[in-house]
Amino acid sequence: MATARGAWEAVPGSQGLLRLLSFCVFLAGVCRGNSVERKIYVSLNRTAPCVRLLNATHQIGCQSSISGDTGVIHVVEKEEDLQWVLTDGPNPPYMVLLEGKLFTRPLMEKLKGRTKRIAGLAVSVAKPSPPEGFSPSGQCPNDGFGVYSSSEFAHCKVVQWNPLGNGLAYEDFSFPIFLLEDENETNVIKQCYRDHNLGRNGSAPAFPLCAMQLFSHMHAVTSTVTCMRRSSIQSTFSINPEIVCDPLSDYNVWSMLKPINTSGTLEPDDKVVVAATRLDSRSFFWNVAPGAESAVASFVTQLAAAEALQKIPSVATLPHNVMFVFFQGETFDYIGSSRMVYDMEKGKFPVKLENIHSFVELGQVALRTSQDLWMHTDPMSQKNDSIKNQVEQLLTTLETVGAGVPAVVLQRPRQSQPLPPSSLQRFLRAQNISGVVLTDHSAAFQNRYYQSIYDTAENINVSYPPHLSPEEDLDFVTDTAQALADVATVLARALYRLAGGIASVDSIRADPKTVNRLLFGFLVKANNSWFQSLIRQDLKPYLGGGPLQHYIAVSSPTNTTYVVQYALANLTGTVIDLTQEQCQDPSKVPNENKDLYEYSWVQGPLNSNGTSRLPHCVRSTARLVRALSPAFELRQWSSTEYSTWTESRWKDIRARIFLVASKELEFITLMVGFGILIFSLIATYCINAKANVLFLTPREPGAVSY
């Protein structure tokens, strides 16, 4: 049997053919640099898509058709411009370039279901942020997964927490919607539109027209139940399973004031005061989740409180321990906290539910008016008198320590008022514990941009004098940083008292500088000298040039998770004198123990001449623990007890603009091409049929070819 190689060798001249072929390929490669595609398409580089998410019963978000959706661009700057898109315009479908301030529910309702005339939507960012507020979240966030799902407080009957919520982020759209993040790119599109798509003197515009194409085809459909079942059947029967959706998941960050043995569990009489907050946020668009007020301000405050508490010399003698926990995925029906409660119940976490002495949670705290900090408690668990007394003590403790901080006035909402959406609700679902949620709002949120793209540094008034350099901004204490440091001081002092500390609390003070550095890093510029110094070398790329985004995502840990872990390690840990090898494996070092501590080899600050870094080993109790909804652990994809959110997979997400010819011209081009094809087919047939006449070759007798 002749091998392919043998066959090649047998035919003389094939080497030359091969060379010719590779030359052609090379030539094609060279020419591509100047190809037609590059001349007519302009890709948009700074966009964010709306993607499809699924829960047990629904799909939400957006998608394009498999080959992308194309439409003639129409700029909609005021509502009247929609008339053209929906009825007048002669060249549907249209790709609407929508001003950010028009991205509202009534307008989206008009566009929905008009897929014959709407190919898709590109939304620009409103500047300044819409003054009337904008929140694509629901009015009753995480409804159904808290502690009130079947009581007189269900469905926010007593308090509508987010009255501005229009629910757009939980709608299903059948066309693609992209965010244009860069003003200059938006202007490029508008220029193209003005040059080609505006009719002269009221007449219809002439071809070629400026068009946009959006690609965001989603693989998963219908619901988590459908897509997970499909994935799981595939992975049973196929070596190469095709997975169409992934559960939203990440890691919670947690630490203990006094180290505990994480290989075992605590004794039942070890008591722990839990300080909790959330790490994540979202918006209508994928991976755009600045969450300044809804997440960052609170976890920054908690980090500062952790630092303040750790600095007290007498922590080791406190009767109770304090656990700091930062929950991921709370936005999506409490992924992080429900998982931790689940692990605690199953004994898979060192702290168990019965170890919890009390629970103090930071809700949104950056927009306090007249210095008020509201203490929300749960009315249902307080029907039990012993819980009621404990809650009363908790509130009194807070009020007492709060009296020492004049800039914070602690207030109690009506006692019959339920808790706002909070991780505490997940703990109360499992066990009646005494807990409080501290917020800047007495009833409805102060935050007018809850879970939107506008919940940025600006929303919580973090801004720096323009003449300062980024490094100077790091040390410039803004009013917001000062106000949050005051809250952190109250929190740290209260935790100290709750943990049984009896000494004076006056010396416990959160550092406004720390708060400012954290705010700056998370909200303005993650790639700053401080963040660089406190993370591991391999995590360097996680610090982008702008603010961090706090969407939980599916590939984890995310940037936020790591940075919070390492910031917590820096603020509460100690530098110890180990080499890099010892730091990575401290088991052989006497007095060091991985059961008690986490060790990390961090980049360290630049040396004095700025040429290299001074890495060192940091020992802390800051750790990560999985935040994947128990619904996926239990394979209960239709769970109503646990979060079931998944994110669809996709192949390609991109956007571009180009000029399109008229349908008639396209048709003519097609027809001409078709004509040529038919002609050449006929010609080939004829030549083939008469080949023996046309190409007379002398045939040697006996030469048989196979």
**For residues 522 and 529, what is the distance between their CA atoms, to the nearest angstrom?**
13
In this structure, what is the dihedral angle of CA atoms 479, 481, 484, 486, given to the nearest 10 degrees?
Answer: -70
Burial class (CB in 10 A: 0-12, 13-18, 19+), 448: buried
Pick the stretch among 94-102, 276-284, 426-434, 622-630 that binds ligand NAG (CB under 6 A): 426-434
Distance of CA 247 to the CA centre of its chain: 13
Considering the complex, state which of residue 384 and residue 537 has its C-beta at the smaller distance from ligand NAG: 384
The SS3 call for residue 326 is: strand
Contact status, residue 368 vs residue 436, Cβ threshold 8 Å? no
Tell me the closest approach of the beta carbon of residue 461 to ligand NAG, in angstroms.
4
602: tokens are 């961090």
| 347 near ligand NAG (CB under 6 A) | no
Residues 44-83 within binding reach of ligand NAG (CB under 6 A): 44-45, 55-58, 60
Alpha carbons within 13 angstroms on the beta-carbon side of residue 703 total 4
Considering the complex, state which of residue 82 and residue 162 has its C-beta at the smaller distance from ligand NAG: 162
| 605 near ligand NAG (CB under 6 A) | yes
| 589 near ligand NAG (CB under 6 A) | no
Contact status, residue 274 vs residue 356, Cβ threshold 8 Å? yes
**For residues 388 and 379, what is the distance between their CA atoms, to the nearest angstrom?**
9
Residue nearest to ligand NAG (CB): 544
Considering the complex, state which of residue 12 and residue 545 has its C-beta at the smaller distance from ligand NAG: 545
| 479 near ligand NAG (CB under 6 A) | yes
Residues 16-35 within binding reach of ligand NAG (CB under 6 A): none
Tell me the closest approach of the beta carbon of residue 595 to ligand NAG, in angstroms.
4
| 319 near ligand NAG (CB under 6 A) | no
- Judged by CB under 6 A, the number of residues near ligand NAG is 59
In this structure, what is the dihedral angle of CA atoms 183, 186, 187, 189, given to the nearest 10 degrees?
Answer: 170
Pick the stretch among 128-136, 230-238, 305-313, 530-538 that binds ligand NAG (CB under 6 A): 530-538
385: left (phi > 0), else alpha (psi -120 to 50), else beta? alpha
Considering the complex, state which of residue 406 and residue 541 has its C-beta at the smaller distance from ligand NAG: 541
**For residues 673 and 671, what is the distance between their CA atoms, to the nearest angstrom?**
5
Q: Which residues contact 110 (CB under 8 A, 6 or more apart)?
A: 82, 86
Pick the stretch among 43-51, 313-321, 399-407, 414-422 that binds ligand NAG (CB under 6 A): 43-51
Considering the complex, state which of residue 55 and residue 505 has its C-beta at the smaller distance from ligand NAG: 55
Per-residue binding letters, 152-171, with ligand NAG (x by CB under 6 A): ------------------x-
Contact status, residue 420 vs residue 450, Cβ threshold 8 Å? no
175: tokens are 């066309």
Residues 173-192 within binding reach of ligand NAG (CB under 6 A): 182-185, 188
| 587 near ligand NAG (CB under 6 A) | no
Contact with ligand NAG (CB under 6 A) among 587, 591, 608, 692: 608
Tell me the closest approach of the beta carbon of residue 269 to ligand NAG, in angstroms.
15
Residues 548-567 within binding reach of ligand NAG (CB under 6 A): 548-549, 559
SS3 per-residue string spanning 282-324:
CCCCCCCCCCHHHHHHHHHHHHHHHHHHHCCCCHHHCCCEEEE
Interface with ligand NAG by CB under 6 A: which residues? 42-45, 55-58, 60, 144, 170, 182-185, 188, 200-201, 261, 263-264, 380-381, 383-384, 386-387, 430-432, 461, 479, 526-527, 530, 533-534, 541-545, 548-549, 559, 570, 573-575, 593, 595-596, 605, 607-609, 611, 618, 640
